[in-house]
């Protein structure tokens, strides 16, 4: 009996030692992972006391004040304000989280270290985990881009306007058959393309940086008819037929940016007209259900190759036509269409086959 008990005790000790060794190995692995993460990670208990500092977080604090060090459990998150005021802002956010509020990721800039952080806070019943990701390089790039945009919008428009203005005056004084007339026309065409590209780039930036104000109710059938009327003349020039199938009777008002959504429909119709042959038919259909309104545009153009479809909504991408030449335009139309639709919480899709035409469609939520 004694031997059996002793044997069981030895087995238990062996098992406990094995479990302890496994836990120690996992802790070493966990510590190695944390050391490899460049993000600043701080653990905080419900009382605000620091329970954990990643190696990157400890190094950041030490770099802020060389002679000071922070050990877990010895100080609160708010007291780290003496190193950098950003910790005071995070501590204040934690207080609102304690009151039951939900904190989305937010950005902070340290004026002490001149670094930008994306801060996320995860909460459990007994602790918080604060993760500070350094996004300084992205924000520096964004600020540089903003300066370039300001330069493009102000300092490039004036010389382009002067070139167009003086070239137009020169063209008026030249005989129609003069060879110089061709040179001036080339200047005008080039500068107008540059102006158009500049306008497109500024439109892209506007959509990227500022949210659409979707705060006005609109009569969706009227928006569709406006787009059709605006494209009717362009289709007539190519003897094309616009065939419509609108099932929008009794549709309730929808909250949209009316001008932007009209631009979406006009862009899809314009592409259908542009890439379809003379005398062809273009179909526009629109309908709605309890949740969404749908619009599709189908053409009889030369279609899109399967390998190009995943990229056609990318900014500045211009697909190749069947002959191998690139499509006309700046490669921004479909990008703008997708951006506008997604800003309205909708989605867009395309179906196409080379030689058989394309179908573009999008939907928008009714509520």
Report the distance separating Cα 278 and Cα 301, nearest Å: 10
| Residue of 126, 114, 123 lying closest to 90 (CA atoms) | 123
Asked whether the beta carbons of 260 and 340 are under 8 A apart, the reply is yes
Query: How many Cβ atoms sit within 10 Å of the Cβ of residue 13?
Result: 10
How far from 297 is each of 2, 29, 133, 340, CA to CA, in Å? 87, 56, 44, 17
Both tokens of 359, joined, read 């179908």
Report the distance separating Cα 242 and Cα 284, nearest Å: 7
| Residue of 131, 87, 140, 92 lying closest to 110 (CA atoms) | 87
Query: How many Cβ atoms sit within 10 Å of the Cβ of residue 352?
Result: 20
| Residue of 187, 127, 128 lying closest to 162 (CA atoms) | 187
List per-residue pLDDT tens for the chain, 367 residues long. Answer: 445 565 557 666 666 777 777 777 777 776 777 677 888 888 888 878 888 888 888 888 876 554 455 555 557 888 888 888 888 888 888 877 655 556 788 889 998 888 999 998 888 777 888 899 999 888 888 788 777 777 776 677 788 888 888 888 888 888 878 888 888 888 988 888 888 777 777 776 666 665 555 568 899 999 999 999 999 999 999 999 999 999 999 999 999 988 889 989 999 999 999 999 999 999 999 999 999 999 999 999 888 888 898 889 887 777 766 655 555 666 778 988 998 899 889 999 999 988 889 999 999 999 7
Q: Where are the domains of the chain?
A: 37-134, 138-209, 217-365
Strand partners, 163: none
The CATH T-level fold of domain 217-365 is Heat Shock Protein 90 (3.30.565)
- What b-and-e string marks burial along 41-78, b requiring 16 or more CB atoms within 10 Å of the CB? bbbbbeebbbebbbebbbebbeebeeeeebeeeeeebb
Report the distance separating Cα 202 and Cα 153, nearest Å: 7
Match domain 37-134 to its CATH number in 3.90.1170.50, 3.30.450.20, 3.10.129.10, 2.40.30.10.
3.30.450.20
- Global pTM reads 0.59
DSSP string, 299-345: --S----TTTGGGTTSTT--PBPTTSPBPSS-S-HHHHHHHHHHHTT
DSSP symbol at 351: E
């Amino acid at each position: 009996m004694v031997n059996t008990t002793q044997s069981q005790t030895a087995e238990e000790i062996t098992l406990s030692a094995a479990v302890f060794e496994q836990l120690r190995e996992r802790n070493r692995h966990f510590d190695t992972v944390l050391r490899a993460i460049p993000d600043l990670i701080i653990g905080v208990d419900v009382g605000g006391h620091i329970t954990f500092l990643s190696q990157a977080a400890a190094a950041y604090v030490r770099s802020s004040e060389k002679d000071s060090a922070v050990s877990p459990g010895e100080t609160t998150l708010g007291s780290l304000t003496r190193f950098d005021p950003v910790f005071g802002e995070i501590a204040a956010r934690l207080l609102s989280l304690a009151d039951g509020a939900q904190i989305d990721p937010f950005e902070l800039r340290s004026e002490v270290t001149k670094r930008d952080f994306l801060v996320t806070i995860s909460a459990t019943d007994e602790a918080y985990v604060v993760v500070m990701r350094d996004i300084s390089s992205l924000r520096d790039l964004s600020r540089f881009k903003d300066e370039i945009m300001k330069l493009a919008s102000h300092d490039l428009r004036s010389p382009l306007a002067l070139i167009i203005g003086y070239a137009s005056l020169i063209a008026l004084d030249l005989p129609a058959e003069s060879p110089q007339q061709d040179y001036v026309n080339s200047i005008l065409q080039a500068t107008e393309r540059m102006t158009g590209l500049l306008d497109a780039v500024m439109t892209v930036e506007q959509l990227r940086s500022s949210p659409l104000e979707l705060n006005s109710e609109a009569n969706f059938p009227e928006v569709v008819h406006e787009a059709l009327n605006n494209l009717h003349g362009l289709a007539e020039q190519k003897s094309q037929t616009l065939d419509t199938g609108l099932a929008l009777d009794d549709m309730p008002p929808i909250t949209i940016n009316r001008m932007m959504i009209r631009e979406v429909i006009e862009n899809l119709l314009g592409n259908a007209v542009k890439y379809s042959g003379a005398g062809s038919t273009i179909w526009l259909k629109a309908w709605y259900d309890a949740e969404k309104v749908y619009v599709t545009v189908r053409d009889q153009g030369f279609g899109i190759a399967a390998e190009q479809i995943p990229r056609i909504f990318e900014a500045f991408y211009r697909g190749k036509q069947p002959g191998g030449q690139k499509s006309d335009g700046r490669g921004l139309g479909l990008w703008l269409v997708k951006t506008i639709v997604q800003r309205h919480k909708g989605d867009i899709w395309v179906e196409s086959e080379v030689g058989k035409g394309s179908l573009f469609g999008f939907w928008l939520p009714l509520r």
